[in-house]
Amino acid sequence: MNEISEQDLDDLLRRAFAGAVNDNGFTERVMRTLPIRRRHRFGLLPVAALAGGILGWLALLPSPLLAQFAREWLVGGFGTASAIVCMMLFVVSLLGVGWALEEQ
Amino acid sequence: MGDLDAQARIDAALVERAVQNDDARVFEILVRRHQGLVRAQLRRLLGDDPALADDLAQETFVLAWRKLAQFRGESRFSTWLYRIAYSCFQQYWRSQGHRRRQERELTEHLGDAPGVVTPTHELGLDIDAALRRLSFNQQAAVLCCVQLGLSHEEAALVLDMPLGSVKTHVARGKAKLRELLQDWAPSPTSKSTEQFK
């Protein structure tokens, strides 16, 4: 019973391996299926935040909160109405930024 | 080795350009450079199902395109691609595992059990049959280290296993192959292979 040497075995294995496959249109097929990469345009984010802020402001127009907020600012105080309005504007701006990121 | 290093540098430069300019045409050059061996690797792992191997190879390159910015150049680009290809293969194999394992066991029982196989001059076919009798890890380790010519460290990266395990799988795989093939080789010298050329 003969033992196959390490070198012989490696040679046999390499010869049994067919090696690189010819392209035959494979690359073109891959390139057709590549997903389009969406570039993030971070410059749009401040615009989205501003748009969100304006929308939030418009939404608050019918509310007495806005009048209260104006009164507080005129007398130079920072009360509950100011806190609520600022918080709401911040949240709506944040939602605008999130939406912009999602859409990019 | 110098040639391999030069190829690796070219790949790294191409990856950098493809990422910086988001340039699919540069990526196409990378696909052309590497598709041959990625497809060959998958064909070997899948046991000669070229259509399925090509589907997985396509999935491999689409994933590579998506993750291109994550390639840090810590390994060769080809090694990184083989890693993705092997992951795609593993994922496919797990999803189909039960059915294919049954088919494989059936084939083994019907066919060429060790010691039953008669010597043949179609040694390529015999080696294929012998390779199929190794465990998956042994097959994959032998494929990476001998047939694809990767170092043990690179194979460990591709197969996502510790270096020691790769060395063990290669050694055990080769020992089992030697055991399976020794009846067919009349002499231990290179003459033994000449007759099969």
**How many angstroms separate the CA atoms of B52 and B173, rounded?**
25
Summarize the confidence of residues A15-19 as an average pLDDT: 85
A31 pLDDT more than 70: yes
Query: Nearest C-alpha of chain A: how many angstroms from B96?
Result: 24
Q: Minimum mean pLDDT among A52-66, B5-19, B76-90: which range?
A: A52-66
pLDDT of res. B124: 57
Q: What is the pLDDT of residue B80?
A: 95
Mean pLDDT of chain A: 83
Q: Which position has the higher pLDDT, A56 or B35?
A: B35
Chain A, chain B: beta-carbon pairs less than 8 Å apart: 110
Written as one letter, the residue type at B91 is: Q
Check if B174 contacts A (Cβ < 8 Å). Answer: yes
**Per-residue pLDDT at A67 exceeds 90:** no
Instruction: Decide if pLDDT at B163 tops 50.
Output: yes
Q: Does A61 touch chain B (CB under 8 A)?
A: no
% of chain A with per-residue pLDDT over 70: 91
Tell which of A34, A40, A41 to mutate to test the B interface (max B CBs under 10 Å).
A34
Q: DSSP E strands: which ranges in A1-104?
A: none
Contact state of B27 with A34 under an 8 Å Cβ cutoff: yes
Identify the residue with better confidence: A55 or B28: B28
pLDDT at position B108, please? 53
- Show the 3-state SS of B46-80: HCCCHHHHHHHHHHHHHHHHHCHHHCCCCCCHHHH
Q: What is the mean pLDDT of residues B153-174?
A: 94
In order of B41, B83, B135, the CA distances from B96 in angstroms are 19, 20, 17
Q: Which of A8, A31, A34 sits opposite B190 (nearest CB)?
A: A8
Nearest to A13 among B62, B142, B192 (CB): B142
Residue of chain A with shortest Cα separation from B179: A3
Predicted confidence at residue A22, as pLDDT, reads 94
Write the DSSP string, B74-114: SS-HHHHHHHHHHHHHHHHHHHHHHHHHHHHHHHHHHS--T
Selection from A2-6, A11-15, B96-100, B168-172 with the highest mean pLDDT:
B168-172
Q: A82 with A73: CB under 8 angstroms?
A: yes
What per-residue confidence (pLDDT) applies to A17? Answer: 87
**Tokens for B107?**
């084939």
Q: Do A4 and B27 touch (CB under 8 A)?
A: no
CA distances from B60 to B45, B73, B95, B140, B142 (A): 14, 18, 17, 17, 21
Secondary structure tally for chain A: helices H, strands E:
5, 0
- The alpha-helical segments, DSSP class H, found in A34-75 are 44-60, 64-74
How close B161 gets to chain A, by Cα (Å)? 22
Q: Which of B54, B62, B143 sits opposite A34 (nearest CB)?
A: B62
Q: Is the pLDDT of residue B97 over 80?
A: no
Give me the pLDDT at residue B112, please. 46
Which of chain B's residues have a Cβ under 8 Å away from the Cβ of A37? 22
pLDDT at A56: 81
pLDDT mean over B178-184: 77
Checking if the pLDDT of B102 tops 70, the result is no
- pLDDT over threshold 80, residue B38: yes
ipTM (interface predicted TM): 0.74
Whether B175 has a pLDDT exceeding 80, the answer reads yes
Report whether B38 contacts B88 (CB < 8 A). Answer: no
